[in-house]
Structure formats: structure tokens, C-alpha cells
Amino acid sequence: MISINQLLTYQRKLRSNDYILLNQLLDDVEVGAFFETNDGKSIIYGFGQKQTWTEMPNATESIVFGAKSFDNQLDTGIMNGFWFEPEIIVVLEDDKLLSNLITIDACLKKVQFKNSQPVQIVEEHNENDWSSRVQSLINELKKQESIQKVVFGRQQQLQFSNTLSLTTLVPVLRKQKNIYHVMIKKGHELFITATPERLIKISHDHLETAAVAGTIQRGKNESEDDAFGKILLRSKKNNEEHEYVVRSIVQQLHDVTSTLHIPTSPVLLKNKQVQHLYTPIVGRINTNVSIRNIVYKLHPTPALGGVPQQKAMDYIRNHEMMTRGLFASPVGYFTRDNIGEFVVGIRSMYVNGKNARLFAGAGIVVDSDSQQEFYETSLKFQPMHELLEELSTNGCTNV
């Protein structure tokens, strides 16, 4: 359980309609957050705002939710970075509802369930020259040995027929298994991620992170899926890309940890659309090292920026068509006891009213193939497209 037990003064057994009411409350409040762990065992809601920041604060009296801008390029609204301390905290865990508000049940009774309309995509705009720009990047890498890898992103811009309802969206999002489900809301703006990648989890002095880099598609059956997995595990290009990330994480954590355990070789992390090379890394942090310090040290890893970091970031800034905002950035929460968890905002979508942007990126190295990288990024768009496809055929849902 998250370490704000003293604040969670109210506790009762979870009821069947709690999810519906809490999601409706997310629709009703101006500022809110939703964080579900990848094992589905813990959900944290934040409602309302006591304080807000554009940069991650150093400390809190309770809990802070938020997301950091990828590289501080000027964007709009929450995409510049947004952090808030909520008025109401609700934790769902071990078949229990816990809250800092002893009158939470009276608050939920006032929630009025509203029917939501199906949401259709009425316009879609893509970066049609992305593959040719990737080829230009590959040519640049062949000429410049000083840059080994650039994570190059592309975005899709969508327009919807109706605004999204969180009463509908959150249950549909939760159908995507074995990944984190995270949402930050401010007014008409939403940032939503269905990400497989944890940046950092800290509990007391225990640290957990992971290198996730190197990607291949899933197979149509178990035999084909295993074959693709073996190709990925043997791929020189993908293993080199993965090793960049492992080395960078170890280097960044070296002076803030007393111990680190790094497996000698990666394993497969399988999601619905793709499978990745995955190396879990655990350790113990030094005394008086804040979670903020570690978040800022680790971001961006080579899985999000490139190698060397500054040259890759410069290339991203100069050649990606749109600023990233919160895409590929740390998103999560931390508590007053320096405990928290942050994920990487990939497989993600930014929504402002009826307009949305989706993001996908691929690690480009000298051996990359531009058409294969385009296919890979298309797979990475699928979690949000599958979400929107279900929302286009269903209005209100009680899942």
C-alpha cells in the first residue's frame, strides 16, 4: 500500500458500483488523476487540487500526482508539465476502499451518472514523410560516429465527433492487461497512457527500475510468437540498443545507490501488440536521496532520447515535427514519505476537448530499416487506437 496510511482515515469493503462512481467523479472534477499498477492490484485516484505546479515539487504533505515535460520545449496547457496535490485521495486495494475523506460515501452518493455518446474519429492527420526522414537520420548516423542512437518519434492528430467521457474511457482502458494505466486531467485536457514501461518505483530505500528497449511484433499463434521472440533475443541491432539503456541507467544510478542488481541478459516482456527486450534492475538508494532527484537523473533514458543523450536530444528537437510535451515523459505520483512510482508516458494520447494527439517512437541506429521502423511505430499506436475503436461503438458502460 502507498505510504500515506496516516492520511487514509476511512476504510471499508469495496462495493460493486465504486468504480463507476469514482470514474464519474473524475468526469465531474476540474483536476484529477488515475494510476493503476501493471498487475492490476492497486488503483489510486486523486480528485480536486490543493496546490498545482508546472515543475515537480521537492516535497509534499500528502501525495502529488503529475507529469514532467519531456525536454521543456514550449507546448500548451498540461503538456508543459503539470503537478498537483489533490483534495481527495482514494485507494482501491485488497478489495478495500480507503480515503483521506471520511465523508467519501456521501460525496459519491451525490454523483449523477450521465450517459456518454460514442466517439468517432472524424479527421486524422499523419506525418506522411516520416519514413523518408528516418532514412535521412540513418544516413546521418552512418556519417557521424559521434551519434549512436536517436529515438525518433512521430505523432498523429485526430479530431473526434464528441468529447471523451472518463466514465466510459477508464473501464475500456483497464481491459488492456499487464500494463500501467495512468491518466492526468486538468479541465478539458487529458493525458492518457497504457504503458508497459516503469521508470522508477521507490519504497523506503528499495528501488526498482528496468531497461525496456528492442521491439518486435507478436505472432498470430504461440509457435510464431515464440519464433519472433527468439529473433528478438538474437538480434544484434536490438541487443545493442538495449545495452545502451542498461548502461545508461546503471551509470545514472551509480552515485545515488549503495547496491544495484543487474541481470546479465534480457528477457522478453510481452504486451498485446509487441514484445520487448527487458532487464529488471533493483537496488537500494542512499539516505536523503529524493524520488525527484532520481526521476530527473533517469529521464530521458536512451530508450526515450538516444546516445549520447545531448546530441540525440538536439536531433529530436530539430527534426521531429511537433514538440513532445508529456509524451515519453515521467508520469506518476510520490508521497510525503519519498515513496512513489513513475511510468514512461508512451503508448499515449493527449486530448484537448475534441482534438487529440498520439505519439509513437522508435530507436534508430545505423542498422535500422526505415520501413520496419514505420511498421513498429504503427504497432505502438495500436493501444490508443483500440481504445478509441471501442469507444466509437459503445457509449456509456458499466464495466
Alpha helices in the chain, H assignment, sequence order: 18-28, 104-109, 130-143, 166-173, 222-234, 236-253, 291-298, 309-319, 370-393
- What amino acid occupies position 89? I
| Phi and psi angles of residue 141, each rounded to the nearest 5 degrees, phi first | -65, -35
The three grid cell numbers given for residue 128, joined into one nine-digit string:
506522411
Comparing C-alpha atoms, which of 225, 354, 200 is closest to residue 290? 200
Does residue 197 carry a catalytic annotation?
yes
Q: Which one-letter DSSP state was computed for residue 219? A: P
DSSP state of 112: P
Give the C-alpha separation, 384 to 363, whole Å.
Answer: 20
Q: Are 122 and 338 in contact (CB under 8 A)?
A: no
Q: Is position 149 annotated as part of the catalytic site?
A: yes
Given 3-state DSSP classes, what are the helix, strand and coil percentages for the chain, each rounded to the nearest 5? 30, 35, 35
Contacts of residue 68, Cβ cutoff 8 Å, sequence gap at least 6: 55, 56, 81, 295, 299, 326, 329, 330, 331
C-alpha cell read off for 231 = 529473433
Exactly one of 149, 185, 201, 380 is catalytic; name it.
Answer: 149
DSSP 3-state assignment of 345? coil
The answer for residues whose C-beta is within 8 angstroms of residue 121's C-beta and 6 or more apart is 158, 159, 160, 161, 388, 392
Closest listed residue to residue 281, CA positions, set 307, 248, 305, 233: 248
Contact 308, 146 (CB under 8 A): yes
67 is written with which cell numbers? Answer: 507529469
Which residue in 394, 396, 398, 374 sits closest to 386, CA to CA? 394
Task: Write down the catalytic residue from 36, 85, 197, 390.
Answer: 197
Dist CA 184 CA 166 (whole Å):
11
Residues with a known catalytic role: 149, 197
